[in-house]
Structure 1
Amino acid sequence: MQDDSNPSARKPSEIGRRTLFTAVAAGGAVSLANALSASAQTGPAQAASREMLKPRTAPTGAPSAAAMQAETAPPPASEVFEARSGSDYMVDVIKALDLGYVATLPGSSFRGLHESLIDYGGNAKPELLTCLHEEISVAFAHGYAKIAGKPMGVFLHSVVGLQHASMAIYNAWCDRVPIVMFVGNTLDSAKRREGIEWYHTALDNGAIVRDFVKWDAQPTSLEDFNEALLRAYGLAVTQPAAPVLISVDTELQEAPIPVGKRPVPRLTLPTQPVGDPAALAKAAAMLAKAEHPVIVVDRMVRTPEGMAHLVELAETLQCPVIDKRGRLNMPSSHYLNQSENARGLIKSADVILGLELTDPWGVVNTLLDRIERVERHTAAPGVKLITLSTHDLLIHSNFQDFERYQPSDLAITGDAEATAPYLIEAVKQALPKGQQAAMQARSDKFRAAHADTRRRAYEEAAYGWDASPVTTARLCAEIWPLIKDSDWAFVGANSSFQSFWPQKLWDFDKPYQYAGGSGGAGLGYGAPAAVGAALAHREHGRLVVNIQGDGELMCAPGSLWTAVHHKIPLLTVMHNNRAYHQEMMHIQRMADRHERGVASAHIGTAIDSPFIDYSKLADSMGMWAAGPITDPNELGAALKKAIDVVKRGEPALVDVVCQPR
Structure 2
Amino acid sequence: MGDEINNNYTAAPDFISETPVNLPANQPQAEYGSDLIAELIGSLGHEYIFLTPGSSFRGVHDSLVNHTKNHKPKIILVAHEEIAVAMAQGYCKATGKPAMAFLHDLVGIQHATMAFYNAMADRMPVVVLGGSGPADPAQRRKTDWIHSANTQCDIVKDVTKWTDEPITLQGCLDSIARAQRIATSAPCSPTYVSVDVLVQESNIPEGVSLPDVKTPRYLPAPPVAAPRESISSAVEALINAEWPLILGGRVGYDKATTPVMTELVEILGAAYQDGHDIICMPSNHPQNLNASFGRTKAEGEYKKMLMAKTDVVLCVDCLDISNNIGAYEGARGAGEEVAAGKMTVIDLSMNDFTIQHWTHLGGPLHPVDIQVQADGLYGLKQINAEIKRRAEEKPPWLAKAKDRRAEVAMMHDKLRLSQLEAMKLKWDQVPIYLPRMTAELFNVVKEKDWLLAARNYRAWYDGIWEFDGAGQFMSNSIGGGIGYGPGGIIGSALAGRDQGKFTVAIIGDGDFTMGPAAIWTAVHYKIPIMIVLHNNTSFGNDEEHQITLAYRRGRPAENAWIGQRMVGPEPDYCTIARGYGAWAEEPVRDPEELATAFKKAADVVEKGGVALVDVRTSLN
So what's the TM-score if we normalise by structure 2?
0.90
Shift in Å, 1:297: 2.1
| 1:147 aligned counterpart, secondary structure | helix
Q: Indicate the residue corresponding to 2:279 in structure 1.
A: 328
Shift in Å, 1:370: 4.0
Q: Does 1:463 align with 2:398?
A: no
Equivalents in 1 of 2:163, 2:91: separation in Å?
21
Q: Indicate the residue corresponding to 2:337 in structure 1.
A: 376
What aligned pairs does 1:482-631 form with structure 2 within 5 A after superposition? Answer: 482-492=444-454, 494-498=455-459, 500-501=460-461, 503-631=462-590
8 Å Cα contact 1:240/1:393 also seen in 2: yes
Shift in Å, 1:108: 0.6
Equivalents in 1 of 2:589, 2:139: separation in Å?
56
Structure-2 change in CA distance of 1:369 and 1:289 (3 Å): closer
Q: Does 1:476 align with 2:438?
A: yes
Shift in Å, 1:591: 2.3
Q: Indicate the residue corresponding to 1:162 in structure 2.
A: 109
Equivalents in 2 of 1:553, 1:124: separation in Å?
30
8 Å Cα contact 1:365/1:375 also seen in 2: no
Equivalents in 1 of 2:399, 2:383: separation in Å?
23
Shift in Å, 1:193: 3.5
8 Å Cα contact 2:52/2:102 also seen in 1: yes
Q: Does 1:358 align with 2:319?
A: yes
Equivalents in 2 of 1:82, 1:465: separation in Å?
65
8 Å Cα contact 2:252/2:471 also seen in 1: no
Q: Does 1:193 align with 2:140?
A: yes
Q: Indicate the residue corresponding to 2:66 in structure 1.
A: 119
Shift in Å, 1:437: 3.4
| 2:559 aligned counterpart, secondary structure | coil
8 Å Cα contact 1:187/1:203 also seen in 2: no
Q: Indicate the residue corresponding to 1:152 in structure 2.
A: 99
Equivalents in 1 of 2:124, 2:197: separation in Å?
28
| 1:353 aligned counterpart, secondary structure | strand
8 Å Cα contact 1:185/1:247 also seen in 2: yes
Structure-2 change in CA distance of 1:90 and 1:457 (3 Å): same
In structure 1, give the amino acid aligned to 2:559: S
Shift in Å, 1:189: 3.8
Q: Indicate the residue corresponding to 1:140 in structure 2.
A: 87
In structure 1, give the amino acid aligned to 2:448: S
Shift in Å, 1:178: 1.1
Structure-2 change in CA distance of 1:389 and 1:122 (3 Å): same
Equivalents in 1 of 2:33, 2:247: separation in Å?
50
Equivalents in 2 of 1:619, 1:556: separation in Å?
15
Equivalents in 2 of 1:509, 1:370: separation in Å?
36
8 Å Cα contact 1:285/1:430 also seen in 2: no
In structure 2, give the amino acid aligned to 1:464: K
In structure 1, give the amino acid aligned to 2:96: G
Q: Decide which moves more: 285-294 or 258-267.
A: 258-267
Q: Indicate the residue corresponding to 2:257 in structure 1.
A: 306
In structure 1, give the amino acid aligned to 2:131: G
Shift in Å, 1:288: 1.0
| 1:258 aligned counterpart, secondary structure | coil
Shift in Å, 1:375: 8.5
8 Å Cα contact 2:30/2:67 also seen in 1: no
CA root-mean-square deviation = 2.2
Equivalents in 2 of 1:580, 1:475: separation in Å?
19
In structure 1, give the amino acid aligned to 2:104: H
Shift in Å, 1:369: 4.3
Structure-2 change in CA distance of 1:172 and 1:264 (3 Å): same
Q: Does 1:439 align with 2:401?
A: yes
8 Å Cα contact 2:277/2:457 also seen in 1: no
8 Å Cα contact 2:347/2:368 also seen in 1: yes
Equivalents in 1 of 2:258, 2:72: separation in Å?
30
Q: Decide which moves more: 81-90 or 241-250.
A: 81-90
| 1:142 aligned counterpart, secondary structure | helix
| 1:627 aligned counterpart, secondary structure | coil
Structure 2, gaps ≥5 residues long? 10-27, 292-301
8 Å Cα contact 2:253/2:472 also seen in 1: no
In structure 1, give the amino acid aligned to 2:182: L
Shift in Å, 1:302: 3.3
Please tell me whether Structure 1 or Structure 2 has the larger radius of gyration of its CA atoms.
Answer: 1
Q: 1:396 aligns with which of 356, 360, 369?
A: 356
What aligned pairs does 1:231-380 form with structure 2 within 5 A after superposition? Answer: 231-267=178-214, 268-340=219-291, 341-362=302-323, 363-370=325-332, 376-379=337-340
Q: What is the number of residues matched between the two proteins?
A: 584
Q: Decide which moves more: 440-449 or 422-431.
A: 422-431
Shift in Å, 1:540: 1.9
Shift in Å, 1:281: 1.4
Equivalents in 1 of 2:232, 2:566: separation in Å?
55
8 Å Cα contact 1:367/1:376 also seen in 2: yes
Q: Indicate the residue corresponding to 2:128 in structure 1.
A: 181
8 Å Cα contact 1:192/1:198 also seen in 2: no
Shift in Å, 1:374: 9.7
8 Å Cα contact 2:50/2:78 also seen in 1: yes
8 Å Cα contact 2:239/2:397 also seen in 1: no
Shift in Å, 1:389: 0.5
In structure 2, give the amino acid aligned to 1:514: F
Q: Does 1:420 align with 2:371?
A: no
Structure 1, gaps ≥5 residues long? 1-65, 75-80
Q: Indicate the residue corresponding to 2:24 in structure 1.
A: none
